[in-house]
Amino acid sequence: MERYRKIAILIGILLFLAALFGNIIGFSSGEGIGFGQIFMALSGILIVLAGAFGRRFVNGYRSVAIMILNTLILLALLEFSALILIKTIGIENIHQENQREQIQTRDVRESGLMFPDQEYHPFVMWRSAPVSLPLMNVNQSGIRRTYWVPRIEGTRIFALGGSAMWGWMVPDSSTIPSCLQKEINSIPGFEASVTNLAQNAWVSTQEVTELMLRLRSGDIPDLLIFYNGANDIFASFENGRAGMIIGNRSIAGRLSVQEDQSGASPDGLTLLLRSTNIFMLMDYLIGIEPEVAAPNVRFVAAATCFDDPGFDMAPLAGATAAHYLENYRIVEALSKEYNFQFYFFLQPLLCFETDDSHPGASELLETEDERFLEFVGITYSMILDQRNDYPRLIPVQDIIDEEEMEIFIDLCHLNASGNEKVAAWMAEYLYAGLAVSSPDTLINQ
């Protein structure tokens, strides 16, 4: 018997050491300690205890097992009772843990609009998920509806950009593409249809990629208009590097193999506890309800490099401007190969306004990071300094400055009136440009 106990102790020690050094000897497929290693270590400890204490361990193990079983039965009864109470009380949306879903529900209730979910799409990373609301419609391909599109054939216009072009918190009828379509319809002889290909949070590289996918499939426009610039700067400020997408760190973290393949994650236990009926009932009864929107949240979080007081923004701003203008050159080359025209409209930003030109500008910007606003200003200046080399790069800021009216929702998004103003100016500009450059092929007169 003594011999078997020594063998058991030896086996237990070997199991524990194998679990402890699993990453080194190849028992673990990822970094850190996974569930498999934890199970192996506990098994080793139990075997060592069994070998050391013999029959006394068996008796103690039986008592502990009965205690654990009784505890699990009690928890199961409490969980079932909590479920019955939740159903009886009729607590609305108590299982709705998704904060985005709560925000969407609130937005639809208050305005008839919402910020849609995003779905993966090859090469461009994401497009909007389908939405069907009275004021907002996105089809199965992630393309938002454009109002007042004529049935007759004419100039095909593709509109690309980020959320400002897509139509942040305005109805389908008040997006820039829809307003542009309405203005075009009112110009005699200007027959064109506008397609809104913009997507929330896209940077110019994603927009160019979308264009390339369209061209490859034979979907070639007559005219391409970009309304962008801000997201490229926001992405650089967030990542501390130029040429990145918004949310790059989050996406990279999901793809990195840092979790054990068994499914373990740092927050797994927390998520499990929060999903129980007991937790949700306690959460409701003590009055801790999740906030669906935090007021005065900064527009973009800063990369860690901006925390350095001596950090020089100029090189990063210069690289950001260079990436943006390089995408202009790519589109220019594609336009010659595929025979279409294009314009880059550099979108207006509230940080270039004053309370005189836009009442309430300082109030809207008071929570923004001063480093962020400075970085935006430096980068925009670098882009505009090279405007003479890019004749189809058109700043829209001057158009906004002409009237003293509140048209900004936040730093970069316009309300319905602002979109109408920009679209009306765009329509006149495009008509004049197209009529001069190709009156026979693009303008039906």
Q: Is residue 95 part of a domain?
A: no
The answer to whether residues 31 and 178 belong to one domain is no
What's the pLDDT score for residue 295? 46
* 261 or 382, higher pLDDT: 382
Tens of pLDDT along 222-232? 999 999 999 99
Higher-scoring residue by pLDDT: 442, 46: 46
Which CATH number characterizes residue 229's domain? Answer: 3.40.50.1110
* pLDDT number for residue 437: 55
- Tens digits of residue pLDDT in 77-121: 888 888 888 777 665 554 444 555 555 566 666 677 878 899 999
| Mean pLDDT lowest among 305-309, 337-341, 440-444 | 440-444
Most confident of 35-49, 96-110, 378-392: 378-392
Q: CA 399 to CA 425: how far, in whole Å?
A: 8
Q: Are residues 163 and 57 part of one domain?
A: no
Mean pLDDT for the chain? 83
Average pLDDT over residues 387-405: 86
123 and 228 inside one domain:
yes
Same domain, 63 and 125: no
pLDDT of residue 103: 59
| Domain contains 273 | no
Query: Do 170 and 72 share a structural domain?
Result: no
Most confident of 37-46, 266-275, 374-383: 374-383
Mean pLDDT, rounded, for 351-361: 78
What average pLDDT score do residues 419-439 get? 82
Q: What is the pLDDT of residue 41?
A: 78
Length of the chain (residues): 445
Q: Looking at the structure, do residues 320 and 209 belong to the same domain, yes or no?
A: yes
Give the pLDDT confidence score for residue 421 in this predicted structure: 95
**Secondary structure of the chain in the HEC alphabet?**
CHHHHHHHHHHHHHHHHHHHCHHHHCCCCCCCCCHHHHHHHHHHHHHHHHHHHCHHHHHHHHHHHHHHHHHHHHHHHHHHHHHHHHHHHCCCCCCCCCHHHHHHHHHHHHHCCCCCCEEEECCCEEEECCEECCCCEECCCCCECCCCCCCCCCEEEEEEECHHHHCCCCCHHHCHHHHHHHHHHCCCCCCEEEEECCCCCCCHHHHHHHHHHHHHCCCCCCEEEEEECHHHHHHHHHHCCCCCCCCHHHHHHHHCCCCCCCCCCCCHHHHHHHCCHHHHHHHHHCCCCCCCCCCCCCCCCCCHHHHCCCCCHHHHHHHHHHHHHHHHHHHHHHHHHHCCEEEEEECCCHHHCCCCCCCCHHHHHCCCCHHHHHHHHHHHHHHHHCHHHCCCEEECHHHHHCCCCCCECCCCCECHHHHHHHHHHHHHHHHHHHHHHCCCCCCCC
- Residue 35 confidence (pLDDT) above 70: no
Shared-domain flag, residues 52 and 122: no
| Same domain flag for 79 and 125 | no
Amino acid identity, position 18:
A
How does DSSP classify residue 346? E
Over the stretch 186-243, which tens digit does the pLDDT of each residue have? 999 888 999 999 999 999 999 999 999 999 999 999 999 999 999 999 999 999 999 9
At 202 the pLDDT is: 98
Q: Indicate whether 289 belongs to any domain.
A: no
Average pLDDT on 264-274 reads 58
Q: Work out the percent of the chain whose per-residue pLDDT is above 90.
A: 51
Asked if the model's pLDDT at residue 438 lies above 70, the reply is no
| Residue 110 maps to a domain | no
* Residue 40 shares a structural domain with residue 140: no
Between residues 388 and 12, which one has the greater pLDDT? 388
Q: Of the candidates 51, 74, 89, which is a domain's last residue?
A: 89
First-to-last C-alpha distance (Å) of the chain: 104
Reference 154, options 191, 187, 195, 196; nearest CA is: 191
What's the token pair of residue 201?
């949070």
pLDDT, residue 440, reads 46
* Residue range of the domain that includes 18: 2-89
Q: Is residue 283 in a domain?
A: no
pLDDT digits (tens, 9 = 90+) for 289-301: 444 444 455 778 8
Asked if 97 and 87 count as a contact pair (C-beta separation under 8 A), the reply is no
Q: Which two tokens stand for residue 370?
A: 């001063």
Find out whether 155 and 340 touch, Cβ atoms under 8 Å: no
101 belongs to a structural domain: no
Q: Per the domain annotation, does 442 fall within a domain?
A: no
For residue 12, is pLDDT > 80?
no
* Single-letter amino acid, residue 141: S
| Residue 381 placed within a domain | yes
67 shares its domain with 142: no
Using pLDDT thresholds of 50, 70 and 90, give the confidence band for residue 254: confident
Same domain membership, residue 401 and residue 352: yes
List the Cα angle 210/213/215 in 5-degree steps.
Answer: 110
How many beta carbons lie within 10 A of that of residue 256, not counting itself? 9
- If asked whether residues 201 and 305 sit together in one domain, one would say yes
Question: Which pTM value belongs to this model?
Answer: 0.72
Least confident residue range of 231-245, 336-350, 367-381, 430-444: 430-444
**Domains: count for the chain:** 2
Using DSSP's 3-state secondary structure scheme, residue 157 falls into strand
